[in-house]
Amino acid sequence: MEQIELAKKAIAGDETALLQILKQEESTHYRIAFSYLKNEHDSLEAIQEFTFCCFRKIHTVKQAEFLNTWLIRVLLNVCSDIQKKKRRYELRNDVAEGTFQNDDNHLELSEAISKLTPKQQQLIYLKYYCDLKNKEIAKEMHISEGTVKSRLHTALKKLRFLFSEGGQS
Amino acid sequence: MNEKDFDKLKEELTNIVVPTEKLASMRHNGYAKYKKRQKRNRLFFKQVALIAVVVIIFVSSIRVSPAFANAVAKIPGFAPLVEMLTKDKGLKDIVDNEYFEELNIVQTKNNITLTILGTIADETGIVIFYELEAPFNISNLETKEFQLSQNGEVINSSSTSGWPYTEPTKTIQGKLEVIATSKIDYSKPDFEIYLKFDDTKETSFTIPFTLTKPIQPSKVYDVNKPLKIDGQTIYVQSLTISPLRAELKLKVNSQNTMQILQIDHLKVLDEKGEEWGKVQDGLVGLGSFREETNSIFIQSNYFRKPNKITLVLDQIEALPKGEDYVEIDFLRQKIVKVPPIDDFDLKILDSNSIEVTYKSKEDHHVQLFSDVIDAEGNQFYHNSFSVYENHNRFTESSYHFDLKGAVNPVQIYFFSYPHYLEGSTKVEIPLTE
């Protein structure tokens, strides 16, 4: 219950409380950023931008119970922005070098996950990394439990497809 | 794809080494960036048809003389006025002459209480003083929409809203400023304020009010005199004096070799040598020297009734014609042209905003840019700008443009830049009716 009190303080504008929460959750956040962006440099940049966004938008969080899932949503949005920027840059490098190499094979699954829509990614991380129950996810995302199930199903189906596609090439 | 795969994902994630120290420093940077942005003043405005000249002033501490304090003490709850009084002599006359109307209309929605404290109104516009209160921090609450209607019709105007609060707070006192594009008719003084905030519930207020006190009419003086400075000609067309502001209409000669942008120092002296300066904060003018209409607002001496005034124009900003714009391709994120000015740096932020850093002699808080012409000659405007803190006389500011439907590259015209004509000029204006 202490967590809830801290979250409430953070939402009310207590900056120290928010910093404390971000510190507590840093491993989870960093790992999600890393699995998305695949390197330390970009992941650290993501954490910086993410911290900035959190402070700017924390007042919009309605319920303290869902602060953690809100944080992950913000993080995934930031990661997706950074990747978009990076892609633009990589594309240009591509043309110059003529080749494109992907030497990460130890993160295949998260690689595939990063191709899902931000909403689907959030769902997967909440379910399988943060170990939330379908019911909890439903509450956070303001959708019914049934919708969570069906959306998870769609996301998994897409993942399976991405995997088989990856396997063929 | 099964549960085992996800166990593997979890394992993969857990195996990622977390650079704790670097993370602490990133968190610090992100927080520092937030604090820096927070320090800027926010001013939201919208413009209808005419370009609004907006100035953001940083007020860190307001020193109030006993005379001012006494004047304001007469009006309960008009705290935002204290700040305005220190910057505008005309407003002190307004208070001395009790030319304001108290309203104290209270409305509560979604736990936010809005009190309309009162107004100062004349034919040129209306200033509305208000207070916001909530049981939670509202320093980050931003105004999303504001409009003022009269008898069911929105008043065509330029308006500003916003407040300089940066620390968490549960009460805010601010002002809404409306400057009408054409004279406001007070024969039916029934108005309605519509105000919408950007909170998650998008709380909005609709508050009707009626003004009962008589409105003082504006006095118009035709001048039509040319002024010469540094080989350029400026025509003084007319002067309109109202309680809230005096409006000076100026026009430039199309044969000028320099594009005149703004007049930084402009003052009015009466026959006794008493001075009034430009309006310094918020909306300080309408139009520009590039357009048909160009009005500069001067602090009003309406209640003093001088017989004659002398107008002094100094520090006139100008850039050579043809070097008075930047050209940007937002689609390719490329800067096409920047005029060869020293200490000027431009960065493209995203698909419709830029950030500029430049050096100025003194604090320069007026917007640098205003209108945008796209590749097909269509005109667009910018709809917000913010100034960050100045460091070593360098000003950093960002501009957001409304570029829906614009064809790239676009030319963004300078509206102001601290580059001046040599010398100053003055003209006498008799004020006999």
Q: What is the dihedral of CA B112, B118, B120, B121, to 10 degrees?
A: 80
Are B30 and A163 within 8 A, CB to CB? no
Pairing state between β B275-276 and B258-270: antiparallel
What are the tens digits of pLDDT across the range A125-153? Answer: 888 877 788 888 887 777 888 999 999 88
* Mutation target among B18, B40, B330 for the A interface, most CBs of A within 10 A: B18
What are the tens digits of pLDDT across the range B46-68? Answer: 444 445 555 544 333 334 445 54
- A-chain residues within 8 Å CB-CB of B141? 59
Give me the residue spans of the domains in chain A. 1-101, 107-169
Q: Which residue of A has its CA nearest to B167?
A: A13
Which has more pLDDT, B95 or B40? B95
**Confidence at residue B313, expressed as pLDDT on a 0 to 100 scale:** 92
B23, B31, B137: residue with CB nearest A12: B137
Q: Which two tokens stand for residue B307?
A: 């017989």
Pairing state between β B112-122 and B125-133: antiparallel
Are B34 and A22 within 8 A, CB to CB? no
pTM above 0.90, yes or no: no
CA angle B386, B389, B391 (to 5 degrees): 135
Percent of chain B with pLDDT over 90: 38
Which residues of B lie inside 8 Å of A (Cβ-Cβ)?
1, 5-6, 8-10, 12-14, 16, 18-20, 22-24, 26-27, 29-31, 33-34, 37, 136-137, 139-141, 168, 199-200
* Mutation target among A9, A32, A52 for the B interface, most CBs of B within 10 A: A52
Which has more pLDDT, A96 or B361? B361
Question: What class does CATH assign to A107-169?
Answer: mainly alpha
Burial status of residue B338 (CB atoms within 10 A of its CB: 0-12, 13-18, 19 or more): middle
Are B27 and A47 within 8 A, CB to CB? yes
Average confidence score pLDDT of chain A:
80
Task: Name residue B269's amino acid.
Answer: L
Q: What is the dihedral of CA A150, A153, A159, A160, to 10 degrees?
A: -150
**Confidence at residue B14, expressed as pLDDT on a 0 to 100 scale:** 84
**Confidence at residue B390, expressed as pLDDT on a 0 to 100 scale:** 53
What are the tens digits of pLDDT across the range B149-204? Answer: 998 888 877 776 665 556 678 888 778 888 888 899 999 999 999 999 888 889 99
Average confidence score pLDDT of chain B:
82
Please tell me the distance from the alpha carbon of residue A105 to that of residue B179, in angstroms, as a whole number: 63
What are the tens digits of pLDDT across the range B102-111? Answer: 899 999 999 9
Q: Kindly list the structural domains of chain B, giving each domain's residue range(s) and its CATH number in brackets, ordered by start.
A: 44-87+100-210 (2.60.40), 219-315+420-430 (2.60.40), 325-414 (2.60.40)
Please tell me the distance from the alpha carbon of residue B284 to that of residue B262, in angstroms, as a whole number: 11
Scan for tokens 């939402």, then name that residue: A11
Please tell me the distance from the alpha carbon of residue B260 to that of residue B258, in angstroms, as a whole number: 6
Q: Which residue of B has its CA nearest to A39?
A: B16
Spatial strand order in the sheet of B258-270: B275-276, B258-270, B308-320, B425-430
Please tell me the distance from the alpha carbon of residue B260 to that of residue B425, in angstroms, as a whole number: 14
Scan for tokens 């320099």, then name that residue: B258
Asked if the domains A1-101 and A107-169 are classified in one and the same CATH topology, the answer is no
What are the tens digits of pLDDT across the range B386-417? Answer: 666 555 667 777 788 888 888 999 999 998 89
Question: Is A1-101 in CATH node 2.70.98.60?
Answer: no
- B-chain residues within 8 Å CB-CB of A107? 12
